Amino acid sequence: MRFVNVQKSYDGETLVVKDFNLDVASGEFITLLGPSGSGKTTCLMMMAGFETPTHGQILLNGEPINTVPPHKRGIGMVFQNYALFPHMSVSENLAFPLEVRKLSRTEVAQKVKRALAMVRLEDFGNRRPAQLSGGQQQRVALARALVFDPEIVLMDEPLGALDKNLREEMQYEIKHIHEELGVTMIYVTHDQSEALTMSDRIAVFEDGIVQQLAEPDVLYEKPCNAFVASFIGENNRLVGEVTSLSDGGCIVRMETGEEIDALPVNVASTGVRSTLSLRPERVFIEPDKGSLPNIYEAEVREVIYLGDHLRTRVCVCGNSEFIIKTPNALGHPVLRRGNTINVGWSREDCRALDA
């Protein structure tokens, strides 16, 4: 499936989707991640055929499908509230897509049985959806989207209504089904950890534009702009002005005067403002002098004990919301509120992004 310069507007005044380009490989698990209102669900609806693009083309196997009605696209879909038909039993729900395809009765029964086995609900065929728990309903919805062997399955925040434990369990289950069946899955969520767990690639949406499309590790470690950096994972932001810029590095001066050596990612020239992005776990406490290009004095404001790691909030370079994550390992330095310490980080971990 390909999206070429797709735009979508509902009211003729504002574009919900501004310029969407995406090339989904067969068998891939792609997640559209973004805050609510960023246009990700609209894109999904255009794939399914419930919305038509205002501009641009959607191609499926090289054929434009802009005008193909939803029921002829052969795309499975899992909805946010599952959309299981309440007046039908679980088996009838699963049989529905097969019956409208006019499959023979034995074939329907066989496929329904197989789909129920896939989601481990063999004994629940005669129940009504209302008699199932949230997780079971979710699995039925998944089975129903897969039962007619579609090439592509779309999922619109399918785990949003589940509690945390069940959600994590389902994430793995969906992931395993994906690996087993080799079906292409396009998944919409606003939960970044869900996206990181499941996806081959993630498209981060904001303001109708894909901000970055990359593998989970790239997205986390090498965000290409300030939005992605702050949206994926925890992130320390330091804002300053670029004073010098070379190929492998740049110097950004803070308002408080510190000059930080950073990796230029998304800065055009000297003189522009830039946001430095720094992951909390990449900050070192009391590094050896000279081992890192950036070493500054920091004042400890708060220490939070989280079991496996400690979060320390410090004030450094004028930013009092600066977080340092340290593993709760043997021999880690003990910090107290009010202590003054040195913190440092490398150039590669400190990415100079747009302001």
Give the binding site for other proteins (CB under 8 A): 48-50, 69-77, 79-81, 83, 85-87, 96-97, 100-101, 144-145, 148, 154
Supply the DSSP string of 24-74, one letter for each residue.
PPTT-EEEEE--TTSSHHHHHHHHHTSS--SEEEEEETTEE-TTS-GGGT-
Choice between 144 and 201, CB closer to other proteins: 144
The amino acid sitting at 97 is P
List 202's β-bridge partners, or say none. Answer: 31, 214
How far apart are CB 71 and other proteins at their closest, in Å?
A: 5
Nearest to 59 by CA among 9, 123, 6, 8: 6
Choice between 140 and 174, CB closer to other proteins: 140
How far apart are CB 126 and other proteins at their closest, in Å?
A: 18
Do 43 and 3 meet the contact criterion of CB atoms below 8 Å apart? yes
Do 206 and 34 meet the contact criterion of CB atoms below 8 Å apart? yes
| Tokens 């080799």 belong to residue | 182
Helix, strand, coil proportions of the chain in percent (round to 5)?
25, 35, 40
Choice between 154 and 188, CB closer to other proteins: 154
How far apart are CB 132 and other proteins at their closest, in Å?
A: 16
How far apart are CB 171 and other proteins at their closest, in Å?
A: 22
How far apart are CB 96 and other proteins at their closest, in Å?
A: 6
How far apart are CB 95 and other proteins at their closest, in Å?
A: 10
Choice between 95 and 278, CB closer to other proteins: 95
163-to-92, 111, 156, 168, 279 alpha-carbon distances in Å: 27, 30, 17, 9, 28
List 126's β-bridge partners, or say none. Answer: none
Choice between 87 and 289, CB closer to other proteins: 87
Choice between 50 and 172, CB closer to other proteins: 50
How far apart are CB 48 and other proteins at their closest, in Å?
A: 5
Two tokens, residue 15: 């574009």
Choice between 37 and 293, CB closer to other proteins: 37
